[in-house]
Chains A and B, each alone.
Chain A
Amino acid sequence: MSVDPMAYEAQFFGFTPQTCMLRIYLAFQDYLFEVMQVVEGVILKKLDKMPGCKISPSQVRKCTEQFLLFMKDRFDKLFGKMEEMLLQLVLSIPKNVLLPEDKVHEQFPYSPEQFQALQEEIRQLQLQCRAEAAAEQALRAELEEQKVVKAELEKILQWFDDLEKIFREQGIGSLQESLAFLTQSSKKLQVVLKEVEQKSEKLKLRDKLM
Chain B
Amino acid sequence: DGGAGPAVPAAPGRAQVFSTVVDTFLEKLVAAGSYQKFASCYHCFYKLQPQLTRSIYDQFVSQLQSSIKEEIQEIKSEGNLEGLFDSLDKIVEEAKDREEPAWRPSGIPEQDVQSALVPYLLKHRSYLRQVLREKEEENRKVAESVLAGRNKIVELQQLIQAHRQAWQ
A residues whose Cβ falls under 8 Å from a Cβ of B: 7-8, 11-15, 20, 23-24, 27-28, 31-32, 34-36, 38-39, 42-43, 46-47, 50, 53, 55, 59-60, 63-64, 66-67, 70-71, 74-75, 78-79, 81-82, 85-86, 89-90, 93-100, 102, 104-110, 112, 115, 118-119, 121-122, 125-126, 128-129, 132-133, 135-136, 139-140, 142-143, 146, 149-150, 153-154, 156-157, 160, 175-176
Contacts and interface: CB of A to CB of B under 8 A. Distances in A.
A95 to B, nearest CB: 5
Nearest to A132: B135
Interface of B: 14, 17-18, 21-22, 24-25, 28-29, 32-33, 37-38, 41-45, 48-49, 52, 56, 59-60, 63-64, 67-68, 71-72, 75, 79, 84-85, 88, 91-92, 95, 98-105, 111-112, 114-119, 121-122, 124-125, 128-129, 131-132, 135-136, 138-139, 142-143, 145-146, 149-150, 152-153, 156-157, 159-160, 163, 166-167
A15 B79 contact: yes
Contacts of B25: 78-79, 81-82
B160 to A, nearest CB: 6
Given A66-B41, A110-B115, A90 B91 contact: no
A100 B102 contact: no
A154 B117 CA distance: 58
A136 B156 contact: no
Nearest to A66: B41
Nearest to B96: A96
Contacts of B166: 175-176
A97 B102 contact: yes
Nearest to A123: B128
A119 B139 contact: no
Contacts of A112: 111, 114
B43 to A, nearest CB: 7
Contacts of B99: 96
A89 B14 contact: yes
A13 to B, nearest CB: 6
